Structure 1
């Protein structure tokens, strides 16, 4: 594709976004899909202080993303490692102005091929803000569950019985969603101290295996998602055209009515003038 063709596609997508403002995120996602490289993009998001950055650092094997007990990540950042673009997002529900949530949602909806919703198992069930996020994703595209995984973190901080209870509760909240249970700190310690037991107990190997299975499907997932977005845009455009035609037909009817009323008024005025002229013997 030449530069001029690229510009043409970009311009047309911009025009489409202007025509369908309610689908702006979908159209921008389509633009990303058309320009995507080979590397899968994995976004990690969730409430602040639930272990997003720690999980990413464990996956990458080095401390790339900031880890703190306070609100630290306030912008979207990314890092390429092992043929994957890892995306860290601001913590949800931490910024009273909502800017962090907006940035996180933009990264999730527009940039990512795979979405990891991180939830600290010690918090119990998913709260209102997390459920709101999931519903937003579902409204955007009901097929998000095919690329969304819920990562329960800090499983080393609860008993096995409590972990089972939390998993069962969340399964009831979000049926059919893939759930993995991990301890990033166990994994980091196992690698640092060369202890296979900690690594195996961390759940990180299973998480990595699942991500690898998704990575192998990225081309197919992108193609399928692109087709869905194009079809959705076509349907919405058809609805827009239908609405505009109805609006035009209505305005045309109104115009014809006004024209008829105008000539009726003209004819009425002509008759009155003629009658007045006859009375004055002018005709």
Structure 2
């Protein structure tokens, strides 16, 4: 397959996907980066029943995303609020087939500028699946560290001492990860009852302040990420071209050896025929 120069950018990226199937997620992310508006996209994802949708509803101030004890978020959904596109994703580890996880990771890897990994503080330290998720993101792009926030939810349901113990355990697992500690319940109650004490104690204001810092850097981060992905695609395409050239050289060399062997055999056969004809006095 060759790249057609007389096609649109999206078509060209699709052609590259066919050539570099292992880079599909990167190329689709690149397509998003090159066509995105200035409005930042924030993906909220994490394990099933850890408070993703509850947090989103508190931040938006409306019951937009489904909240229930059973698995409700089955697909990726988006809502625009305060110049931000919020993305709710299916809960991880809830679907035996793994389809929910694939949808969530696709949204995180391809669509989002900022990633919020939600973790219920009552669960203690990050479990193996959450650590694997973080490692997968780092393998995709080590710079995810600069736009990933771990959000500890339901801090109102543990003691301050237990909260700090969990934070300490998680920091030992992932020392460089930004951590926000929030209570959607306190925040919602503070808003409804006009009680600033609950709002301040919720941790939501600090979380939003940090998000605003990241939002201010989105345009620059997108440009840098696009440049990295383009460089990576170029390297991989160059490696592919070199592999194809090496394969062609090898095939050409084998063909030349075959041709030489073929004509050597032909010459031997001709000589034998001539010798036989001479012996039979036919020449």
State whether TM-score is above 0.5: yes
249-258 or 44-53, which deviates more:
249-258
What TM-score, normalized to structure 2? 0.97
Q: Residue 123 of structure 1 aligns with which residue?
A: 123
SS in 1 for 2:259: helix
Secondary structure at the aligned position of 1:94 is classed as coil
Q: Give 1:117-266 correspondences, 5 Å limit.
A: 117-266=117-266
- Look up the SS of the partner of 2:117 in the other structure: strand
Measure how far apart 1:60 and its partner are: 0.6
Aligned: 1:13 with 2:30: no
Q: 1:165 Cα deviation (Å)?
A: 1.1
Query: How far 1:275 sits from its partner (Å)?
Result: 1.1
The equivalent of 2:99 in structure 1 is 99
Distance 1:146 1:80 in 2: 23
SS at match of 2:50: coil
* Residues paired across the two proteins, number: 279
Unaligned runs of 5+ in 2: none
Spell out, residue by residue over 1:100-134, the C-alpha distance to the aligned partner (whole angstroms, 9 max, x if none). Answer: 00000000000000000000000011111111111
> What are the equivalent positions in structure 2 for 1:73-112 lying under 5 Å apart?
73-112=73-112
Q: Are residue 279 (structure 1) and residue 279 (structure 2) matched? A: yes
How far, CA to CA, are the matches of 1:19 and 1:122 in structure 2?
46
Q: CA deviation at 1:53?
A: 0.2
CA distance in 1, matches of 2:68, 2:96: 19
* 2:70 equivalent in structure 1: 70
1:267 aligned residue: 267
- Give, in angstroms, the shift of residue 7 of structure 1: 5.5
- CA distance in structure 1 between the aligned counterparts of 2:216 and 2:205, rounded to whole angstroms: 17
Q: Higher mean Cα deviation, 97-106 or 264-273?
A: 264-273
Deviations 1:218-259 (A, max 9, x none): 100100100010011011111111111111111111111111
Aligned partners of 2:124 and 2:250: how far apart in 1? 55
Distance 1:254 1:133 in 2: 46
- CA shift, 1:6, in A, is 11
Q: CA RMSD in A?
A: 1.2
**Structure 1: where are the runs of 5+ without partners?**
none
Q: Distance in 2 between matches of 1:194 and 1:7?
A: 56
Moved over 3 A (4+): none
Counterpart-to-counterpart distance in 1, 2:173 and 2:88:
25
The structural deviation recorded for 1:175 is 1.6
Residue 200 of structure 1, CA deviation: 0.4
1:21-64 per-residue CA deviation (whole Å, 9 max, x = no partner) reads 10100000000011101210000000010000001011111110
